Structure 1
């Protein structure tokens, strides 16, 4: 594995888009925002987005109480500052035009995932890294819906539930993923407080 400094690997990652506002998606949004990345949470309805925001807010309250047990002012400040990094949107295609890293956490359906990534591939800059949080579908199969150049920047980034508490992240690397992309994901995982392990592209 090629060693990159954190500043090198993360130079291009400023805005993260997480698609899916359920338990997994909202958890990924939370740890990303806590690490002070601008992050957009995407889902198809206002109700889903509001529910995801409620999940994040409740979880942040628990974190704040642990960090600042006897200081309610600091608890409130921590929660508000973290939420300030989060944006809600129903426009996945429009959002990825200005996104450096996409993490998908939607239904485990290959057709739905492929349709989503095919649309995103057309709208995202060539430099954008695509990731799926799937644990049951091959990354290479999902990536088939994207261009050959995007396949070099398409990996698995599998968080564990509950995301804010679980320290492990699996980076699933296909044979086409470059060292640069792998190392960027390794450093990103580290920056959001996770320990990453490299995994083969095998379902489950």
Structure 2
């Protein structure tokens, strides 16, 4: 997700600094951006020299106007990251989390100025999907949310503003559909392809729920479902056995080569 956000920002004319705690991830991200750039150049979309990689987080954010986090959906990891970012980034920098489900108030609770942080939930693939979900957490965060909305529009996105609540708007709705599609597959109601076609052709969804889960990552979908099941306490968010089993086997979707579909480069 991070490389897609970086590419979208560079495409809009921003100078982008990319960082990752895993040293091996940075060359991979730059390779993915280069591939997107090559495809985009054929359509007249040129990104030249606007993305650099810096391995150390404090150096990466020291001169930033906007910092967008796209790490794993783990509250403690995000909290530790924003403690570092808050101290290293300029005082007037906008801080945003790309979380798809975790509470922005919870993430920001460890910060000295929690109102600096808002949610900016991009959708996969981030460079192509128009929606950005901007998440507020109280009156004091509204100025930051207004800046996030303006930045999303600068990137050519369509922002919506939602209040901080479990799953926000998109995940709270989308996860239910995805989990029910998995239960249907378990019960052999139809094949994965036909379940997806039901939503693509019958409801005009651009992508079916199982294919979308493969793109998002089955491990990510499982983590979100577990969080929503715990926080909301509703049975429709309980992860089905097929999802847990596939994650245990390492079938995580497109990134692993297999999920509900088999993928190849």
Superposed counterparts of 1:1-150, under 5 Å? 24-65=1-42, 67-68=43-44, 78=46, 82-147=47-112, 150=113
Q: Partners of 1:194 and 1:38 in 2: how far apart?
A: 18
Query: How far off is 1:61 after superposition?
Result: 2.0
Once the 2 structures are TM-superposed, how far is the Cα of residue 44 of structure 1 from its aligned partner? 2.2
Partner Cα separation in structure 1 for residue 59 and residue 166 of structure 2 = 30
- Cα offset for 1:123? 1.8
Is the contact made by 1:151 and 1:176 (CA closer than 8 Å) also made in structure 2? no
Contact 2:70–2:99, Cα closer than 8 Å, also in 1? yes
With normalisation by structure 1, the TM-score equals 0.77
Change (3 A) 1:87 1:136: same
**Partner SS for 2:119:** strand
Quote the offset at 1:60 in angstroms: 2.0
Separation in 1, partners of 2:21, 2:76: 17
How far off its partner does 1:57 sit? 1.3
- Aligned runs of 1:115-194 on 2, under 5 Å? 115-147=80-112, 150-194=113-157
List gaps (5 residues or longer) in structure 2: 168-265
- Does the residue aligned with 1:152 lie in a helix, a strand or coil? helix
Q: Residues 63 and 113 from structure 1, CA distance in 2 versus in 1: closer, same or farther, beyond 3 angstroms?
A: same
Q: Deviations over 1:15-62 (max 9, x none)?
A: xxxxxxxxx100000000011111101012332101001111112222
Q: How many residues align?
A: 167
Contact 1:131 1:156 in 2 (8 A): yes
SS of the residue 1:46 aligns to: coil
Distance 1:180 1:173 in 2: 10
SS at 1:28's partner residue?
helix
**In 2, Cα distance between the equivalents of 1:62 and 1:177?**
42
| 1:170 partner SS | strand
Cα distance in 1 for partners of 2:128, 2:89 equals 31
Q: 5+ residue gaps in structure 1?
A: 1-23, 69-74
Greater length-normalized contact order (CA 8 Å, ≥ 6 residues apart): 1
State the superposition RMSD in angstroms: 1.5
Query: What is the TM-score normalised by the length of structure 2?
Result: 0.60
The alpha carbon displacement at 1:176 in A equals 4.3
CA radius of gyration, larger in? 2
Larger strand proportion of the pair: 1
